[in-house]
Amino acid sequence: MYMQLQIHVNANNMTREIDSSDRIQRAVELFMQGYGCCQSVVCAFSDLYGLDEEMALKVSAGFGGGVGRMRMMCGACSALVILAGLEKGQTRGEDREGKAACYQLVRQLLETFRQRNGSIICAELLQRKTPQPPLGGEPKFDGGSQLNTLEPCMPDERNAEYYRVRPCARKVESAARVFAEYLASSETSRKEGKSLA
């Protein structure tokens, strides 16, 4: 079911071989265990950047449901942004080139996801054009903003029906595949650059 990609990552001057199909499968498994879409994807790759699982889960926790269940950017897409930052994020404020490299990677990853899935917006992926207020609730917009605060913060119960009707597991798989493919292509490019030198 999962594409076999071999990824070689140089982290702290140590080269490791990673089977990307394991990472993609791990992301889906985490989602099926009840973790959010962002948590699942970030956690599947976090060890490559020295980020332990507990911290990866905490850092990515608020992005579920399209950022705090506001149905904005899909949590799996938010994971791609976090991973892009871990991969290419600058660490000096004045590093404009570093920022640009990170932003370019973010755009590349999100565009690949969008091309494969039709959108990067949670509500659109769920085919919810207009969020509905909770039962008995009235639409609320905080200070005139257009943020969706209509959905309750309590996430839906994860059961067989949830997994049957929601596309989220497929989006988690897609985002994990996008990042695994990026890692494989960047490793291939690095090797080809060495052979040309």
Phi, psi of 127 (to 5 degrees): 60, 40
pTM: 0.80
CA 77: distance to chain centroid?
4
Summarize pLDDT for 69-96 with one digit per residue, the tens. Answer: 899 999 999 999 999 999 999 999 999 9
For tokens 């265990």, the residue is 33
pLDDT confidence tier of residue 179, bands split at 50, 70 and 90: very high
What is the reported pLDDT for 155?
86
Instruction: Please list, in sequence order, all residues whose beta carbon lies within 8 angstroms of the beta carbon of residue 51, skipping any fewer than 6 positions away.
Output: 59, 86
CA distance 143 to 147: 10
For tokens 């070689």, the residue is 8
Summarize pLDDT for 118-152 with one digit per residue, the tens. Answer: 999 999 999 975 454 444 444 444 444 455 566 77
Give percent of the chain above pLDDT 90.
Answer: 62
Please report, for the chain, the start and end positions of each structural domain, with discontinuous segments joined by +: 6-196
